[in-house]
Amino acid sequence: MATNRDTLTAWLRDAHAMENQAISMLERMEGRLEHYPELRAKISEHARQTHRQAELIEGCLERLGEDRSALKAGMGKLMGNMQAMSGLFVSDEVVKGALASYTFEHFEIASYKSLIAAAQEAGEPEVRGVCEQILREEEDMARWLGEHLPEITRAYMVREATGQPAKR
70-85 helix and 4-32 helix, angle to the nearest 10 degrees: 30
8-38: pLDDT as tens digits: 999 999 999 999 999 999 999 998 898 999 9
71-112: pLDDT as tens digits: 445 554 455 444 554 444 456 889 999 999 999 999 999 999
pLDDT at 3: 95
pLDDT at 32: 85
pLDDT at 88: 46
Signed CA dihedral, 56, 46, 149, 76: sign only: negative
Lowest mean pLDDT among 42-46, 59-63, 82-86, 102-106: 82-86
In the predicted model, is pLDDT for residue 165 greater than 90? no
For the chain, the distance separating the N- and C-terminal CA atoms, rounded to the nearest angstrom, is 49
Kindly list the structural domains of the chain, giving each domain's residue range(s) and its CATH number in brackets, ordered by start: 4-161 (1.20.1260.10)
Average pLDDT taken over every residue of the chain: 88
Decide: residue 48, CB within 10 A, 0-12 exposed, 13-18 middle, 19+ buried: exposed
> Which carries the bigger pLDDT value, residue 6 or residue 67?
6
